[in-house]
Amino acid sequence: MTDKATNGGLGAFDLVIFDWAGTMVDFGCVAPIAALVEAFARHGVVLDERTARADMGKAKADHVRALLARPEIADAWVAANRAEPGEAEVAALMDDLGPLMRDAAAQAAELIPGATETVAALRAAGIKVASSTGYTREMMAPVLVRAAEQGYAPDHLVCANETLAGRPAPLMIYKACVDLGVWPLSRVVKVDDSEAGVAEGVAAGCFTVGLSASGNGIGLSRAALDALDPEDRAARLAVSGALLKGAGANLVVETVADLVPALAAARA
């Protein structure tokens, strides 16, 4: 239980749990898409980006299962491989996806602008910083190194397959809270760019923040997003934000750089 005052502002929180791709690194959540498209292509199945993004935020094996469950993907798999997709096919795809994801994630591990400043402000307020991801620990290894080189090293990390169920189940959040000794869950903030990650925070009973600009909802690099016509940019942000709100987000901001003032205002 916290010793901090509970009179609002940042003092209302003890822990913030950040997602990784699209939230703290990899503006546009590009790495997992490139890896998924290549993994399926190796098995003769063409996977378009929009379809690949539909289940983003889930543990990668669950993401693969969700893709194979889509009728059009299942049909394409049968046509290319003369077999119905099942757990053996999930395992085969994951064998390819692991190294592909590791390489893609390492290349896309640049911190999103404002990430280090946000973490510094949270820690200055006495708030712990944890992280969770749909990546396996193997996939995360190079990302952790690159993030630390840029000044970001969270207090805690939970990876896919380290709990009995992944997002949208709340078990990764529960694990972080148990390991860090933080409770109640109402004093925990979950920050994520995906609908599955937002749903995870809601299921756990956290104050949940969605990021509409930097992640899966729009899926563009920072440069590509900034190059959009202002009306087009605003329209895309509105759609992305509405999806996160629909998943249950208490608050939606554009990127992690906007988090601290938004949290302070939300609990003022």
- Catalytic residue ranges: 19, 60
The rounded distance, in Å, linking the Cα atoms of 36 and 185 is 33
- Give residue 145's identity as a one-letter amino acid code: V
Residue-wise burial string across 161-191, b where 16 or more C-beta atoms lie within 10 A, e elsewhere? ebbeebbbbbbbbbbbbeebebeebebbbbb
Nearest to 28 by CA among 194, 158, 179: 194
Sequence-separated (6 or more) residues with CB below 8 Å from residue 1: 183, 184
The rounded distance, in Å, linking the Cα atoms of 118 and 152 is 10
- What are the φ/ψ torsions at residue 15 (nearest 5 degrees)? -150, 135
